[in-house]
Amino acid sequence: MAKQHRILTGQVAAITGAARGIGRATAQAFLREGMKVAIGDLDYATAQKTAQELGHGTVAFELDVTRRASVKAFLDGAEEQLGPIDVLVNNAGIMQVGHTLWDEDDATTQRMIDINVNGVMHGVKEIVPRFLARGRGHVVNIASTAGKGGFPGGGTYCGTKHFVVGVSEALRAELRDTGVEVSCVMPVVVNTELASGLTETRGVKQVQPEDVANEIVAALKEARFDVFVPRSVAGITKVMNLLPRAGREGLSRALKADQVLAQIDTSKRAAYELRASHSDPALEGADEAKQLTP
């Protein structure tokens, strides 16, 4: 007999980094399921605009995931307005790529760690005790297929996403039999501003934010941990894991996967890279050349 899918209607979801991209698409998908949604973003003005456009009672909050106090305030505010949170999507993240590890400036390295690593941990540490107290809840961590391998030009980004995969697996084991679920989302390159100017691989095309959002909804209904987008990547990953290192690296080169984060169009990424750099308030007002990795 087929496994009964969970009904999401009436559940409350909080999504970090949801003013645009995957976060926004996920909020929209949740609303179609009849869920109540709170979005948080460092870009509060855009988050407010997004909430207004999405409608259906969506609420927006200013959120800096690098500060645990800000994450707590976001979750507190969401619960005050919408009720106890059932789902937290740790989505906020940045990707600054196109440089070797030794050429990447320290500010860029630290910022990706602060957002992609600490941002997820702050979300986990603030939401899990609430879920445990209620005996239910679902943590969704947005990682990447880059969390399953290391790719030239994006060493730090890959490292942060390896962290998200690893911590999600550990969290799943720690929460076994508690009623609290965990999902780890691993999409290929997604057609958002974050992926602008990247090289496409052979055989695996970019997916849309809506594709990721739909798989997140499916994972919630199925209580599924591994969420590959597209699902075909799960098979590719299994094959890669069976190959010796030389075989994996050869296949990566054949698929041009080794060029995705290294051979980039800097002119197409300039706007995103600048906005990602401006996400660090400490850099505001500094010389622009110091804000971006050359």
Query: Has residue 40 been placed in a domain?
Result: yes
Q: In whole angstroms, give the CA distance from residue 194 to residue 2.
A: 38
Q: In whole angstroms, give the CA distance from residue 17 to residue 66.
A: 12
Query: Has residue 101 been placed in a domain?
Result: yes
Query: Has residue 6 been placed in a domain?
Result: no
User: Is 157 a residue of the active site?
Assistant: yes
Specify the number of domains making up the chain: 1
CATH (domain of 161): 3.40.50.720
Residue 255 has a pLDDT of: 63
Residues of the chain above pLDDT 70, percent: 79
pLDDT tens figures, 196-239: 556 566 556 778 999 999 999 999 999 999 999 988 877 777 77
Query: Has residue 290 been placed in a domain?
Result: no
Cα–chain center distance at 112: 12
SS3 189: coil
pLDDT averaged over the chain?
A: 85
Query: Has residue 1 been placed in a domain?
Result: no
pLDDT tens figures, 265-288: 566 555 665 666 666 544 443 333
Query: Has residue 3 been placed in a domain?
Result: no
The catalytic position among 157, 163, 228, 272 is: 157
Cα–chain center distance at 228: 13
User: 155-174 and 119-134 are packed helices; what angle lies between their axes, rounded to 10 degrees?
Assistant: 10
CB distance 30 to 51 below 8 Å: no
User: 44-54 and 21-32 are packed helices; what angle lies between their axes, rounded to 10 degrees?
Assistant: 30
Query: Has residue 288 been placed in a domain?
Result: no
Q: Which domain holds residue 265?
A: 12-281
Query: Has residue 292 been placed in a domain?
Result: no
Residue 260 has a pLDDT of: 63
pLDDT tens figures, 234-260: 777 777 777 787 776 676 676 666 666
Does residue 179 carry a pLDDT above 80? yes
